[in-house]
Structure 1
Amino acid sequence: MNQPAVLFDESHCEQCACGEGVDFSFTFAFQPVVDVVNQSVFAYEALVRGPDGEGAMHVLSQVNGTNQYSFDQICRVKAVKLASRLGMDTMLSINFMPNAVYQAEYCIRTTLAAAKKYGFDTSKIIFELTENEKLTSVEHLSSIIAAYQEMGFSTAIDDFGAGYSRYDIMMASPPELLKLDMGLIRNIHDEPNKQAVVTGIITMMKQLGGRIVAEGVETKEEYFWLRSQGIQLYQGYLFAKPGFECLPEPVFPV
C-alpha cells in the first residue's frame, strides 16, 4: 500500500532548528568505519546517546509519531555540529528515519543550513537507513534515496540481512554502501550457510556498483574470512568501540 501524500509545511524547518517538539536531551558517540587496504578511517558513524552516555534505546524510546520529524532533523544538526567541533575530516554517517521525511528536498534544508553554519563539507555526509524501520511505501524511500544522491550525498542501508529486507530498494534505488548486519557476521568463518548468503550479497553489490561494509566484526577469525572475500570496509569492536563525543582511533588486525 502506498504511503499517503503529506503536504509540506515550511514551518517544520523553523520548528526543527529550535528543537520544538523534542523535550529530551541527547548527543552522540562516534564509531569508525575503517578502510583496511589504506589503513585509514573511511567514515565515522554518529550513534545517538543520552547526555550522560546512556545507550541508544534510552533516547529512541522517547521518540514517537508526534516528535519523530523534529527528532530526525535535530539529529542531523547535532551530528554535523559535533563532528565539526571535533575536527572530523572523514565521511560522517548519519542515520535517518525515512518515515519522518515528508519531502527530501525540503527536509534536507536544516542539514544544509547546519553544514554551512559549522563549516562541514556536505559531500562528506552519508545518510544511512536502518532495515529495522518498516516502511509503508517502497516508492517513498526510493524517492528519498534518489533525491539525496542527486544532491551529492552518499547513501547506505544499515543492518542488511536483518529486519525488513530491502531487496526492493536495491532494485529501485541502490545505495552506494550496504552494511551487513552483525547477525550475518557473527562466527561467519565457521558457518557455511552464512558464507553462502554473504558471498551472494557481495556479488550483487559488485554488479550494482556499490560497496560492502562488514558491520559488527569482533574477532580476527571473522575479519580474515571476510577479508578473503575482498571486503575492504569494516566497523566493529575489533577495530574500535564507539567513543562518547570523541573520534576514537582504530587498530588494525595483523
Structure 2
Amino acid sequence: MIERSMKNRRLTDFHPDKPTESKGILMFCDICRPHALEFEIEYSTPENRQHLPAIHRHLEELGLLVREGDSSHIVREAAMKGLLDYMEQHMDTAHIRFRIDRRDAWRPVSEASGLVDAEWIDRIIDEQAVHFHVQPIVDASGSVYAHEMLARFRNEDGDLLSPFPVFEAARTRNRLYALDRVCRMNAVRQSAAVGTRVFINFVPNSIYSPEHCLRSTVQLAIELGIDPSQFVFEVVETEKVKNQAHLKRILDYYRKNGFRYALDDIGAGFNTVETIREMRPYYTKIDRQYVTGVHLDPQKQKVALDVLEATRFTGGVPLAEGIEDEAEFRWLKNAGFELFQGYLFGKPRPIAG
C-alpha cells in the first residue's frame, strides 16, 4: 500500500472523534507526524522513456520502486537524489515532470531537488528538536508584564539554525502544520518554567480546522494546570493572512477556551485598521519598522497613532516591539502605548533552569 505524504491527507482522513493517547496528551490525527514523500515522475519523450527499464530494474532491486507505468513510476523519496543525478547526466530534464499527490499540478522535475534537500526538517519535527528563548515585554513603568517565547533550532551537528530557513523548509515540504504544532505544544510545556504570561507565535495558514488542530493545545494547558489566560497566541505575519474568515474562526476558538491572542506586524498595510476592528485582538503589536526612529519621523508617528486609535476602539492593549532607543520608548509611552518590547529592555535568553 502506498504511504501517503502529509500533503496527500484530506480533512476527511482525520478522525477527531477517535483520539489516541500519547503520553497523556490527546492526538487527533497523524498529519503532525511527517511520512516519507513519494514522487510520481512522468517522462514525456521517447528518448527519456528508453531509460525506464533500467531505472525500474535498479529501483526494484533497492526496494525503492513503489509502482511503475509505461511512461511513469512512483518512487520512494530515498531514490530521488541518485535518480535526479542520473536524469541530469543522461536525460532531457526539460521533458520530465513530477508530483507528490494525484490532486497536485505537475511540476518540472528541476523543482524536486528543493523538496529533497529540505528533508532535514522532518528530523526536527520527529525529534521535536525545538527549545525556546524568552524576551521580556514590559509595561510603562518598566516592570515585566510577560515574555515572548522565541523558537530556536539546531541541526544534527548542534549548530544553531535561524528560524527563517527552518520555516521555509517546512513550507517547501508542506510540513508547516507539523512544525507549527511542535513549536506550539513545546512552548506551552516550557512556559511552566517562565513564571509570567507568555506570548506564543503561531502560523494561522498552517491550521486546517481550529476545533480539531488546536484541541490538543487546550488539553495540554489543562493537564499542566495553567490558566489559559496566561497564554497569548500571537498571529505571525498578520499582514500575509489572506483568509480573514479562517483567521477569525481560529481566534474565536482561542477566545472560547479562555486564551488570549495578539496580532503582530500591524502598520500601514492594506486594511490594517479594518483588521484590528474585525479581529478585536487582546493585544496589537505595531510593526517594528514604524517603531525605529518614530520620535523623529512624522509619517511613522501617524501610523503609530492610527494603530493606537484602532486598538483603543476595540478595547485592546497596544504593544510596540523592536524598541532599542530610550527616545523611541518615551515617544510611544507618551502617545499612549501600554506595553513595550525590544533590546532596550532585554535580549532573548534561554529559559532559566
TM-score range, shorter chain: 0.7 to 0.9
Question: Percent of aligned pairs with the same residue?
Answer: 32
Between the aligned partners of 2:13 and 2:320, the Cα distance in structure 1 is: 37
Quote the residue 1:203 is aligned against.
309
Which secondary structure does the structure 1 equivalent of 2:307 belong to? helix
For residues 8 and 35 of structure 1, the distance between their equivalents in structure 2, rounded to whole angstroms, comes to 46
User: Which of the numbers 10, 28, 35 marks the counterpart of 1:13?
Assistant: 28
Instruction: Map residues 30-109 of structure 1 onto 2, 5 A cutoff.
Output: 30-37=134-141, 39-51=142-154, 52-64=159-171, 66-84=174-192, 86=193, 88-109=194-215
Contact 2:273/2:306 (8 A) holds in 1 = no
Deviates more, 1:115-124 or 1:177-186: 115-124
The separation in 2 between residues aligned to 1:238 and 1:213, in whole angstroms, is 14
- Runs (4+) off by over 6 Å: none
TM-score (norm 2): 0.62
Unpaired runs of 5+ residues, structure 1, are 248-254
Equivalent residue number for residue 250 of structure 1: none
> Counterparts in 2 of 1:161-200, with a 5 A limit?
161=267, 166-200=272-306
Higher helix share: 2
Computed over aligned residues only, the root mean square deviation of the Cα atoms, in angstroms, reads 2.4
Q: Is 2:254–2:261's contact at 8 Å kept on the other side of the alignment?
A: yes
Quote the offset at 1:109 in angstroms: 1.6
Report the alpha carbon displacement of residue 135 of structure 1 after superposing the two structures with TM: 2.9
Bigger CA drift: 186-195 or 167-176? Answer: 167-176
Structure 1 length-normalised TM: 0.84
Report if the CA contact (8 A) 1:8-1:102 is conserved. Answer: no
The 3 A distance-change label for structure 1 pair 36 and 8 is farther
* Secondary structure of 1:120's aligned partner: coil
Larger RCO of the pair (alpha carbons < 8 Å, separation 6+): 1
Q: Which amino acid in the other structure matches residue 32 of structure 1?
A: P
- Per-residue CA deviation, residues 94-147 of structure 1 (Å, 9 max, x unaligned), is 111111112212222221232234333222111111226633421111121122
Q: 1:221 aligns with which of 317, 327, 350?
A: 327
Question: Structure 2, unaligned stretches of length 5 or more?
Answer: 1-9, 20-26, 35-121
Contact 1:33 1:44 in 2 (8 A): yes
Once the two structures are superposed, residues 53-96 of structure 1 have per-residue CA deviations (whole angstroms, 9 ceiling, x without a partner) of 43322432321252111111111111011121x2x231111111
